[in-house]
Amino acid sequence: MYDNILLPTDGSDATEATIEHVTTLAQTYGATVHVLSVADSRNRFETPSAGIAPDVWEESELERAEHAVDVAIEALPDDVATERIVEEGVPDSVITEHANDADIDVVVMATHGRTGLDHYLIGSVTERVVRQSSVPVLTVRAADE
């Protein structure tokens, strides 16, 4: 039923909430976990007054994404097969495209549960993936602080 599981991670603590679910699915079905982190290509701070140059932003995002994948893979048990993926782009678009292109059976993502102004300003990558994905998406609520 599940041969390929996609675990998108942004490196936040919310990813920890998904690890138990991903592990159970992978061990039950002998699935490979594709751990994906997206280096966001949108530099929201690229203005003369904000001062983050495009090359600095790109390098920082790639380092963050690489680290996020490393941490998630380390959290998975050794008996779970993994594939490591770091891509650049807009996170929800890259996640959805990868799910379609890599023959993913289920996407497992954390949700922060933001509401109100935070949800309006920050948005929800998970929400957009749920709306756009052609494969099932299992959302796991991150623990409240």
Range of the domain at 91: 4-141
Dist CA 77 CA 110 (whole Å): 19
CATH of the domain at 125: 3.40.50.620
Residue 86 has pLDDT above 50, yes or no: yes
Compute the distance between CA of residue 53 and CA of residue 60 in angstroms, rounded to an integer: 11
Which tens digit of pLDDT belongs to each residue from 99-143?
999 999 999 998 865 555 444 444 588 888 999 999 999 999 876
Q: How many structural domains does the chain have? A: 1
In this prediction, residue 145 carries a pLDDT of: 46
DSSP 105-139: SEEEEEE----HHHHHHH--HHHHHHHH-SS-EEE
Mean pLDDT of all residues in 55-62: 82
CA dihedral 92, 70, 140, 105 (to 10 degrees): 70
